[in-house]
Amino acid sequence: MDDDELLRASRLWSRDAETGERGFTLAAALLVGSDDLIFDVAPAYRTEALLRRTDLDRHDDRVTVQTNLIDAYDQLVAFGEKWLPDSFALDGVQRVSPRSVIVRELVSNTLMHREYSSPYMAKLEIGRGYLSTRNASRSAYAHPVTLDNLDPTPKNPVIASFFSQIGRSERLGSGTRKLYKYSRLYAGADPKLTDGDFFEAMVPVPDAMPMLPDKAGRAETPGRARRERELDEIVALVSRVGKASSSGISSELGIQARTLTRRLNELVEGGVIVRDGKGPMTRYRLPQ
């Protein structure tokens, strides 16, 4: 398809039932419009992503996203994946990343099913042991959302259909089921979902050492990023198995012994994990 055919097929170009005029819909502006156009037609639209792990009164990191929904999805997913540990899990015999699935489901839901006429700014927040989202909704009544009462009715069907066609979301209803499934794999607990004037989601996540920005304001380098990722992976693994030996951690995560020793010492000295035993019987665990 050329651009015009794509927009018509996606219902982004339509006819106004009252005036008979044809033109782009609000969904078109939000999905593929320029930042200036989006601000003109939906000035209240923006999403704030926050990290609150050490500074609970304010934030440790913050990103405000006010761009088209395609780019907004990528920016918000990147923020979530940056600050959450990517723990190992098996779905049957296949290795999966519960973190990535959870982040993508919550972000797509926040962008697809919100009430864009509301002045409320949608939020994605990562805190100690949780990932949450909150956005304006328009449900008839407030109620918890469970697998038993799931009502897969899209708030914005054109946007939801477009996201599904480009692979940014699952078909209606399956995303919530996947969220429950991978939340159990990730943290061993169910998410909490509530719909009403606001749609709120809270997913438990493994608590991990915060990857805070360098105090000197230095740009993140590949070495620093790798170190932070390895620290998070170690904490996530120890959290999942209870106690772990250095050889077990090295085998599971593929970290070389010398590097792993430095990472373990750093975590122990920081009080993030505890070292029990000596020699071959040394085990690492989270503090009580």
Cβ–Cβ contacts within 10 Å for residue 244, how many? 23
List, for the chain, all residue ranges whose pLDDT scores fall below the cut of 70. 55, 140, 152, 171-173, 207-225
Domains and CATH numbers, the chain: 42-204 (3.30.565.60), 222-285 (1.10.10.10)
Per DSSP, the residues of 189-250 read S--EEEESSEEEEEEE-------PPPTT-PPP-HHHHHHHHHHHHHHHHHHHHSSB-HHHHH
Residues in the chain: 288
Please give the pLDDT value at position 152. 67
115-154 CB burial, b ≥16 within 10 A, e <16: bbebeeebebbbbeebbbbbbbbebeeeeebeeeeeeeee
Task: Answer whether 84's CB lies under 8 Å from 181's CB.
Answer: no
Please give the pLDDT value at position 159. 92
- Looking at residue 91, the DSSP 8-state letter turns out to be E
Please give the pLDDT value at position 69. 95
Please give the pLDDT value at position 214. 46
Least Cα distance to 223 among 195, 187, 262, 189 occurs for: 262
Residues 154-208: tens digit of each pLDDT: 788 899 888 888 888 776 657 788 899 999 888 888 999 999 899 999 999 886 5
d(CA 89, CA 182): 9
Q: What is the dihedral of CA 77, 98, 143, 121, to 10 degrees?
A: -10
Least Cα distance to 25 among 136, 137, 157 occurs for: 157
Please give the pLDDT value at position 282. 92
- Looking at residue 288, the DSSP 8-state letter turns out to be -
d(CA 120, CA 15): 29
Task: Answer whether 282's CB lies under 8 Å from 276's CB.
Answer: yes
Per DSSP, the residues of 178-204 read HHHHHHHHHHSS--EEEESSEEEEEEE
Q: Pairing between strand 22-24 and 13-15?
A: antiparallel
